[in-house]
Structure 1
Amino acid sequence: MARVSLVVYLAAGLFGLSAVVLLRRPRTAVRDPLTLSTCVAIVLGSLVFVCSAPLTLAAVNRLTGVPNFGAPLTYGMLCAYSCSLLILLIHWRGGPRAQVRRMVLRSIAAYVPLIAAIVVLFALGDARTERLTDLDTYYANTPYLREMILLYLIGHSAATVTMCTLCVKWSREVTGLLRSGLRLILAGSLLDVLGFQLTKYTAVAARWTGHDLDALSTQVAPPMASLGALLCSAGFVLPRLLPAVLAQVRDLRDYRRLGPLWSRVRFVSTAPKPPSAWWQLPQARLHWREVSIHDALLGLAPYFDDLVREQALAAARDEGRGAHQARIAAEAAMLADAARRAAARQEPLRTPSGYRLHATEVSGTGGLVELAQALVRPAADGAVTDKTVRTSHG
């Protein structure tokens, strides 16, 4: 019993973690019906797992003093979860606000009486013997409890079959991450239908005919339900989080690629350094480095030597580089020369260049990254830079 509960609690924790990630900005999330409905569905799914764990069932029964009180609690929670999935799909699909609201109310109107009926049937039935893992099959032939078990299974089946149908239909109309998310939801729903619901129906029907297939209900169904729920959770979260994650990965890559440029000009920058923290997102780190580099470039502008740039440009063209690559190489040579002279505390040029770097003419970090990479190109660039410096200042 403890092992089964541990597996279920772990699934609940992983399931609920995705809601925590989605709610990283609570005020924004609450105002977004899609995010809010996603989090509600995930939280309810986690509660279903927690309530269905044998240890939780035993604790609930003990606290209430009612044998098997955890059963209607779990079944009612499962029906609420099924309803929340339908509401989530309605918000995900979108449409006119009035239509969405009407469909949401219809879903609620269908499942609230279902939950009430489960509670009433449990109260009418005779469930004196506590069953923590096999209640569905143990009471499969008991009046009222038999109907309660069928009712919660049918309610859950209706929601998951509807999800499968809608996912198949919508996946033909969308592309990219949204299609991938729908396919994950479809896979999770099918796993729930085949691995959880079908095994439950089979085990209960076997009891009706005098056979014992309880292992399907007690050993096969729970892990299949857990895996299906996790797949559904991934499908709901993937289209919402993956773009942001990929953006942070790109920002981290650009942050590192700007390293050579930053190490060359950081002594010039006067931009205030923000408080460092290990949890700071790459986007914030990149923004600060970009601002600091631009500040440093402004400080080095009086040292820009057009002669160095023109000679490096000619050398790059002689090597067969295209116009843009030759320009970047020439700017890198001019910047390296300016940084050396500034570091040596030499006087700026009497006649400032007035030249604008490509990196300062374009938005984003692309231009700075190109300049940074040009600074670490093969030694041929360094030779050109040294030659031009000796020619212009020797």
Structure 2
Amino acid sequence: MSEAPFNLVYLGIGTVAWGVAGLKIRAWRRDPSPGLLVVALTIAAPATAFLVAAPVLYRLIDRVAHRGNLATLLVYLGITGFSAAAVVLARMWTPPKERGDAQVWDGATADTWHEVRRRLAVFAVLVPVMTVLFFTGGATAPETPLTFDTTFATVPQIALFLVLYQALFGFALVDISRVCFGHASRLPTGPLRSGIRLIVLGGLIACGYVLCKLIAIGAAFAEVTGTEWLSTALGPGFAALGAVLITAGFAGPAASAWARRRRDYQALRPLWDLVYRADRRLALEAPPSAWTERLAFRDLEWRTARRGLEIRDGQLTLRPWADPEVVTAAALVARRAGLDDEDRAALIVAAALRGAAAALNEGTAPRPREDQVPLPGLDAGPADERAHLVRVARYLYAPLTGEALTAAATTTG
């Protein structure tokens, strides 16, 4: 059997999964929480197992350790680590009605920790038992990175070791799939719901690996031939597909949130440029170049939040030059265009800020405080503020905004 496809698939999956785990660990370091740490461990443990299972690394580990098939124990302990973390994760799920934000893996109450400790106690007992069974089984030769299960299933200690491993893994897959399935339907449509459903699908597909392995192990123990392909081909196929879907389920919502932050950061640039030209003291640094903006991949939450704060300061700076006629004209244009309340507010603010910037540049005297026109959206809460500013930025140079400014100029003239 060629080992090249297994090297390619296992190393690829392990590397990608470790990349996702690294992002989760980084997020946990920024915002420490037990739930986020468990998510990171749930991804890192099987990622390590896939890397070690690649025949090229499998043989390297055995040579360094001077013990054949030691890598098998490391692989199965890695998957067992996933099983333990997945069971904990399932217990730490917070139902949608019981959380006040978008955090899913949170809400570790005293009852939660009680259930977690009970389940971890099972792993704490069985992992040492599995280790003892492996070493007493004497499965050191031949070295079998792909056929260990069916080669050594005739040894009672190894057979029991394999059954315990598959039982823990299968239980974890069913448990987390059951919990995720029960709550996914209560989540609003979006990346988070899609990600949770991918975890469910991946867990159920990975159960095919457990089933194939148990059949092959049982057949080998009974010295029945002809079922080895279940262990060496079909089972790993189920495992690889399940791992890809579970990893995508964990990574998808985070990737979507990152893309949204980057999109918002770039969308705010025209509005930020407008207020920066009005008062350059508002910004901590000069405007980044177009290439710097396109290549912005890190610290997007901080950059976007800072840009939003500077825009808010710029709005307050420009407010004395905002023309009530522009606000009135923008409201009429929005009504004729059939805009909803959020787009109407954004159009009014965009037109008012463009008119105010032009008036400031022309040297128009500012209005006294009592004559200043209030602009919508200034009292928006933190959760709605960014979305409002992004809308304003998109309306800043839209045709409707130009129409409102033209109508106001005609009225004034």
Q: Verify same fold: TM over 0.5.
A: yes
CA separation of 1:175/1:135 partners in 2, compared to 1, >3 Å: closer, same or farther? same
Pairwise CA distance, 1:132: 1.6
Tell me the residue number matched to 2:398.
376
CA separation of 1:262/1:89 partners in 2, compared to 1, >3 Å: closer, same or farther? closer
- Counterpart of 2:277, as a letter, is F
1:184 paired to 2:168? no
1:42-78 CA distances to partner (integer Å, 9 max, x unpaired)? 1111111122221222112111111212222222222
Moved more, 71-80 or 276-285: 276-285
CA distance in 2, matches of 1:201, 1:314: 70
TM-score, normalising length: structure 2:
0.75
CA contact (8 A) 2:268 2:393 kept: no
1:162 paired to 2:175? yes
1:199 paired to 2:179? no
CA distance in 2, matches of 1:105, 1:53: 33
1:69-108 CA distances to partner (integer Å, 9 max, x unpaired)? 2222222222222112111111225777332222222222
Aligned to 2:249, which of 217, 235, 255? 235
1:354 paired to 2:356? no
CA distance in 2, matches of 1:8, 1:245: 27
Tell me the residue number matched to 1:88.
89
CA distance in 2, matches of 1:11, 1:152: 21
CA distance in 2, matches of 1:95, 1:352: 47
CA contact (8 A) 1:316 1:329 kept: no
CA root-mean-square deviation: 3.9
CA distance in 2, matches of 1:242, 1:381: 38
- Counterpart of 2:46, as a letter, is G
Moved more, 173-182 or 145-154: 173-182
CA separation of 1:243/1:385 partners in 2, compared to 1, >3 Å: closer, same or farther? same
CA contact (8 A) 2:198 2:249 kept: yes
TM-score, normalising length: structure 1:
0.78
CA separation of 1:199/1:251 partners in 2, compared to 1, >3 Å: closer, same or farther? same
Moved more, 367-376 or 33-42: 367-376
CA separation of 1:59/1:103 partners in 2, compared to 1, >3 Å: closer, same or farther? same
Moved more, 278-287 or 324-333: 324-333
Tell me the residue number matched to 1:267.
277
1:98 paired to 2:110? yes
Please list every run of 5 or more consecutive structure 2 residues that lacks an aligned counterpart in the other structure. 95-105
Residue aligned with 2:93, SS: helix
What aligned pairs does 1:1-394 form with structure 2 within 5 A after superposition? 1-29=3-31, 31-93=32-94, 97-127=109-139, 128-171=141-184, 176=189, 180-194=194-208, 196-207=209-220, 208-238=222-252, 241=254, 244-245=257-258, 248=261, 251-252=264-265, 254-255=267-268, 259=270, 266-269=276-279, 270-274=281-285, 276=288, 278-279=296-297, 283-296=301-314, 300=318, 309=326, 313=329, 316=332, 339-340=357-358, 342-344=360-362, 346=363, 348=365, 354-359=371-376, 361-363=378-380, 364=385, 366=388, 369-370=391-392, 373=395, 376-377=398-399, 380-381=403-404, 383-388=406-411, 391=413
* Larger radius of gyration between Structure 1 and Structure 2: 1
How many equivalent residue pairs?
380
CA separation of 1:223/1:263 partners in 2, compared to 1, >3 Å: closer, same or farther? same
Percent identical residues: 24
